[in-house]
Chain A
Amino acid sequence: MSAAHQEFATKWGLVIDIDKCTGCGACMVACQTENNIAPEKDASNKLRTLTWMNVYELKNGKEFPQAEVAFLPRPCMQCGNPSCVPVCPVVATDKNEDGGIVSQIYPRCIGCRYCMAACPYHSRYFGWFDPVWPEGMEKTITPFTSTRPRGVVEKCHFCHHRWNQAKDAARIAGTDPNNLPDGAYTPACVEVCPTGAMAFGDLKNPKHKVYELSRSKYAFRLLERLNTDPQVYYMTKRDWVRRQGDNYLPNEKA
């Protein structure tokens, strides 16, 4: 609720290797099915679609044959210092749980969209119309995550329900649900990525792959200068890609 920085014992994080991403969009599709996002009748206006996971295209701005592209999948960063949380007038979004996932409480949200104005990553989406599943397609709705009415804001939550499922599985197996092994909890996007560009785990747990990856010299986070302290890391060996991870004055080095 407060604007202050939040820290927890577990810190779920995503490390995305941009150099491995082909921009296939499987993560976007997986996210939409996993999270009960209704198919849109007309999705041609990309500023109106519900794409909690959205792949952006980056260009180096050069002409052929030097032209290069890169793809950057953008979920919610689950910021350590989220700009969206302190602004919500009704505490419909909060960062108050171990793991550090920024929650979104749909039945509480009044739909003022102030949080959307606050988030510089465009990670938040609004239900402009009632969600409608064409006949037969309602069978694809899963019971794991709630559907949203129109008029509220929604966003990526690292497939929070999968974390609950992983904890339940650990309890049944008699292991510690608060100390899950690497890979026990994986969001849908990470699971589906065909090139293995995404890794997920506890950024504070040395036994998890993301621990090392996030500390690599090739790792960086989007817009770090704004002090949002994201829990999503990106990796690249290409300087021009790295430079697009934040804003730099002409005389500054990335």
Chain B
Amino acid sequence: MSFIEAEKNWYPEGVTRCGLGKFLGWLTILAAVLAFGVVAALFIFIFGIGVTGMDNYFGFGLWITFDLAVIALGAGAFFTGLLRYIIRIDELKDIINLAVIIGFICYSGAMLILTMDIGQPVRAWFGYWHPNVHSMLTEVIFCITCYLTVLIIEVVPLVFEQKQLNKIPLLHHIAHNFHVVMPLFAGLGAFLSTFHQGSLGGMYGVLFARPYAFREGFFIWPWTFFLFVLSAIASGPCMTVLVCALMEKMTGRQLTTYRVKSLMTKIGGTMLLIYGVFKYLDTWAWITDILPRAGLTFDQMFYGLIYGKWLMFLELVVCIVIPVIFLLVPALRRRPAFMYWACILNCLGIIINRYVFTVQTIAFPVMPFDSWMTYAPNWAEWATTCMILAYGGIVMSLAYRYLPLFPQEVRLNK
């Protein structure tokens, strides 16, 4: 049997995949992007973070924005897990595998970026050794590392269910037993995720000397804590659907039913509505209370194009109101164009949110005699960010080709 024939034995039962040559060609493109990113990463590790576009005014930049965005968009994994295993919405079994893989890619990607982003990567473990229990970032470090472990545990049975691997008795039993305890991990994952999504928001809300980000709150948690949780679970399911649709477009095969996608986006839309209500209240309180107390006006919070008001309008109106309507009116959601555009806007809104909280917060000159500074990521930041995207693409492609991700695929493509 030739290698090309043998490779086919590794596909999930009863499906077809593109030719090996085409697949390798696709992987080569991704690998080239990845390799360029690796070069940039080497530059960063050898010469220091000085090779990036960051500076003393912008200690956070593209990387942190990217991390926060992918962690929010990867929230589909824990939220779908929660709904599937704990709340028992059974239909979601047809998309949960995809959500888990996306979550794994997002979180492991974010961790890779962080190893470059912190100035002393070899000291990363200090977060455990010398933790400051008052810091939101400590909570983020704890929960993200623990949750990545949970995600790995969730991915393992998926990998071991691969047709050939599953023939090995040990792996078969591991996969089976992991499945049995999955509700436990889904619960654990939901708990950890809620906390770190929240803490990521809390990180900004606690900055009492940064009026752009500072928020009052409940007990030790600023309102941004809850808003970040809500926005993550609003966008996560929609991101999962978008990835699924993209994969369907690229492979030309139907992977889940429209019904499942519609259900996911309805859940996302509902969460977005709840988020929207609180986000509007929060913004109102910020404008009428936090800012005047600091002696600042709403207009002072914006500057030029990249820190302009249009971003806020886009985030709060275009990317919340429109997707909520599209996703919650059944007649509109039934139409793919409306549903997909709503998903795109929903995710875009969350990305803008993470961007303004990360960059605009520190760009606003708090000292009256200081001025707005601008920041633009340079090649090293873009290359490494694209490296993570390529890494995600590679993992996703391999997973699609060899792992039984979509229970409905065989039936839908008969």
Contact = CB atoms under 8 A, between A and B. Distances in A.
Contacts, number: 177
Given A128-B49, A223-B367, A90 B118 contact: no
Contacts of B210: 83, 117-118, 120
A89 B135 contact: yes
A144 interface: no
B209 A226 contact: yes
Interface residues of A, number: 61
Given A88-B135, A249-B295, A126 B60 contact: no
B293 A225 contact: yes
A180 interface: no
Interface stretch (A9-17, A106-114, A211-219): A106-114
Contacts of B127: 89-90, 110
A92 B119 CA distance: 13
A1 B369 contact: no
A223 B48 contact: no
Contact of B55 (A48, A83, A109, A226): A48
Interface residues on B, range: 35 or more
A125 interface: yes
B137 A87 contact: yes
A250 B300 CA distance: 12
A3 B124 CA distance: 23
Contacts of B140: 89
B116 to A, nearest CB: 11
Interface string A175-206: 00000000000000000000000000000000
A47 interface: yes
Nearest to A149: B120
B200 to A, nearest CB: 12
B354 to A, nearest CB: 14
B203 interface: yes
A254 to B, nearest CB: 10
B297 interface: yes
Given A121-B366, A252-B295, 12 more contacts: A48-B56, A56-B369, A83-B208, A90-B129, A114-B135, A114-B203, A116-B56, A128-B54, A151-B120, A228-B209, A247-B211, A248-B295
Contact of B369 (A2, A116, A152, A244): A244
Q: Which 4 A-B residue pairs are closest in the complex by CB-CB distance?
A: A111-B119, A151-B119, A113-B59, A128-B50
Given A1-B132, A86-B135, A118-B207, A247 B48 contact: no
> Which of A83, A90, A247 is most buried by chain B, counting CB atoms within 10 A of its CB?
A90
Contact of A47 (B126, B367, B373): B373
B123 interface: yes
Interface in B158-210: 203, 206-210
B235 interface: no
At the interface, is chain A mostly helix, strand, loop or mixed? loop
A227 B48 contact: no
Given A227-B208, A247-B294, A247-B295, A86 B132 contact: yes
B53 to A, nearest CB: 10
B368 interface: yes
B134 interface: yes
Interface in B5-59: 47-50, 54-59
Contacts of A244: 368-369
A237 interface: no
A83 B362 CA distance: 14
A222 B131 contact: no
Contact of B132 (A57, A89, A129, A246): A89
A153 B118 CA distance: 11
A39 interface: no
